[in-house]
Structure 1
Amino acid sequence: MEEEGSERGRGSPTTYCVTGATGFIGSSLVNLLLQNGYNVHATLRHPAKSLKLLSLWTNTDRLQLFKADLREEGSFDEAVKGCDGVFHVAASMTFNVDQQDNIEEYVQTNVINPEIKGTINVLKSCMKSRSVKRVVLTSTISTLTGKDANGKRKRFVDESCQTFVDQVWKNKPSGWVYALSKRLSEDAAFKFAYENGIDIVSVITSTVSGPFLTSNVPSSVQVLMAPITRDPNFLRIVSTVNERIGSVAVVHTKDICRAHIFLMEHTKGKGRYLCCVGSYTLSELTERLSQHCDVKLERCVDEKQNWMRSEVGNKKLKDLGFEFEHGIDDIIKDTVSSCVQCGFISLT
């Protein structure tokens, strides 16, 4: 799949490696790459637990599967060999941890350090392969904030609005472990890549929702559906996002995958790119969900009086030439349809 302005992907067949191929974004990315004629090396930590996904991909000879573990250095050597690029999607999805006597030390040792090590392990494997031209790293909007160092709301949020690590350690908001591990592993990846001459770009995902291929309902889908399900854990997460960023930024499953491929193939891509089609306050999202579900949803969080929203921007990505295909109505419609189909929600 080539977007206008793309400068890669011409000539001989292109081969890409996707780490974390059984996750939400990873599985959808593998599917889209195969649909568009690419050769794919997909890494799986537990192939035996991925029979549903594997059954979707058995009718092609353009896919090779590799067992790999982020905790093992060299585990990705064979998977990236001969690849033109690597999509590093695999990551820990630890949002919070049970209270520990030394919780900071526990999180640093058991979550953040392994996440950083795993990312560096993938980059080391890329260094060994002379064919890899670029690495696209999947990041998250959890690494951003809509407030300045003094807690004042920003009107616009973009790639430069990174979270303040010391404040996350201090305040430990909902999802704080995931936010820290992604922020610090992304920083480590760019530092290692710069020091070793690796071309790297990151995609900052907003709340990704829409159709999914995984057996379990993805966390980001559950976040968007929280006003319907009233799940207290995911209501807490979406409320925290709304408060931290100043709105909830969203993107369709297909568009986030298209953005990954676009940034892999556009040689002018540099640095970090925030990928969202729009952003909405939690009250606005609840109203939209009510319209699509044809049910009256109660407001799940009271936004403070004189509460100021922030707009989450996609200017850098659009300036490079990327065009979104799906807006908020598509996102909600496709998400609700997928959740009803798998039995996660019922609207009757």
Structure 2
Amino acid sequence: MVSEDNCNEDKNTTEATVDAACIILRQCERSGTVRRVIHTASVTAASPLREDGGGGEYKDFINESCWTPLNLSYGFSNVHLDPGVRGGDTIQPHLWSSIPVIVAPLTGHAAHHNSLLFLQALLGSVPLAHVEDVCEAHAFCMDQSAMAGRFLCAAGYPSMRDILDRFAARFPEVKMRLQQVTGEGVRVRADTKKLEDLGFRYRYGVEETLDCSVECAKRLGEL
């Protein structure tokens, strides 16, 4: 990618990433052949934390309105798909980025466990999606005749405590190495089904996603 003339080389990584995305979108528009751009974002962009601190720490629900619209307009539909933490299996010979976070209470990996704590604190839950469902969601978005906007992609919104309780019940033979949780009693649920309202269906639920993640970690020798 070649930066545009007015690009400031001293910009930080975040600004450079935003600039790069805008350049890609402008090039898509100039091509005249692009019908839809699907941007894979993150559910962390949809935090239900209240900015004013009033009425409790979190909003009652998490949905697509939990962040500021970009107010960008292009000559094609723009889809922002925001998946939850991806679990499941992998074809790689090692655990990829999301699964280690999910199974951190069992592996005892402190840095990954801190990521789990961060997600619970930021979102009021730990939104989960199986990697196969995330792949199917991308294909679904491409197949729609008309689609635009932001879409959360998560099969469920368990709390950190829910995750540890599932591990303890389903895998009693595996030692729980890290039991620290945050947000006890807090579980911010979603009140949106925008993706499902268009016809998308999740194949894997929360418990299946957690179980598959643990089995993957076992298979790769992490547990």
> What is the TM-score when the length of structure 1 is the normalising length?
0.56
Show the counterpart of 1:226. 104
Q: Does 1:147 align with 2:49?
A: yes
Q: Is the 8 A contact 1:210 1:253 kept in 2?
A: yes
Q: Which residue of 2 aligns with 1:297?
A: 176
Q: Decide which of 265, 269, 273 is 2:151's aligned counterpart.
A: 273
Unaligned runs of 5+ residues in structure 2 are: 5-9
The residue matched to 1:208 in structure 2 has which SS?
strand
Question: Is 2:3 aligned against 1:124?
Answer: no
Q: d(CA) in 2 for partners of 1:248 and 1:312? A: 11
Instruction: Name the structure, 1 or 2, with higher relative contact order (CA <8 Å, separation 6+).
Output: 2
**Secondary structure in 2 aligned to 1:248?**
coil
Instruction: Please say if 1:157 is aligned against 2:62.
Output: yes
CA-CA distance at 1:216 after TM superposition: 4.7
User: Could you tell me how far 1:276 is from its partner in structure 2?
Assistant: 0.5
* Gap runs ≥5 in structure 1: 1-70, 75-107, 164-185
Q: In 2, Cα distance between the equivalents of 1:199 and 1:304?
A: 38
- What is the rounded CA distance, in whole Å, between the counterparts of 1:235 and 1:300 in structure 2? 9
Kept in 2, the 8 Å contact 1:72–1:118? The answer is no
Amino acid at match of 1:162: W
For 1:132-281, list aligned pairs within 5 A.
Answer: 132-151=34-53, 152-162=57-67, 187=70, 191=72, 194=73, 196-281=74-159
Q: Report how many aligned residue pairs link the two structures.
A: 215
**Partner of 1:109: helix, strand, or coil?**
coil
Q: SS of 2:161's equivalent?
A: helix
Q: Hey, what does 1:62 align to over in structure 2?
A: none
Render the CA deviation track for 1:38-76: whole Å, top value 9, x for unaligned: xxxxxxxxxxxxxxxxxxxxxxxxxxxxxxxxx5359xx
Contact 1:204 1:273 in 2 (8 A): yes
Give, in whole Å, the separation in 2 of the partners of 1:144 and 1:340: 32
Instruction: Check conservation: 1:274, 1:313, Cα contact below 8 A.
Output: no
Q: Distance in 2 between matches of 1:221 and 1:335?
A: 6
Partner in structure 2 of residue 72 of structure 1: 2
- Gap change, CA 1:213 and 1:129, over 3 Å in 2: farther
Aligned-residue CA RMSD (Å): 2.5
Q: 1:325 aligns with which of 203, 209, 216?
A: 203
* Percent of aligned positions that are identical: 25
CA separation in 2, counterparts of 1:250 and 1:162? 19
Q: Distance in 1 between matches of 2:178 and 2:60?
A: 24
Q: Could you say which residue in structure 2 is the equivalent of 1:316?
A: 194
Shift of 1:328: 1.7
What is the alpha-carbon distance in structure 1 between the residues aligned to residue 146 and residue 32 of structure 2? 21
Helix, strand or coil for the counterpart of 2:12? helix
Distance 1:123 1:215 in 2: 34
Contact 2:124/2:183 (8 A) holds in 1: no
Q: Letter of the aligned partner of 1:157 in structure 2?
A: I
CA distance in 2, matches of 1:289, 1:204: 26
What amino acid is aligned across from residue 59 of structure 2 in structure 1? K
SS of the residue corresponding to residue 150 of structure 2 reads strand
Distance in 1 between residues matched to 2:179 and 2:200, nearest whole Å: 34
Report the Cα offset of residue 116 of structure 1.
1.2
The CA deviation string for residues 268-304 of structure 1, in whole angstroms up to 9 with x for no partner, is 4221000111111111101112233333526622445
CA–CA separation in structure 2 for the residues paired with 1:299 and 1:335: 17
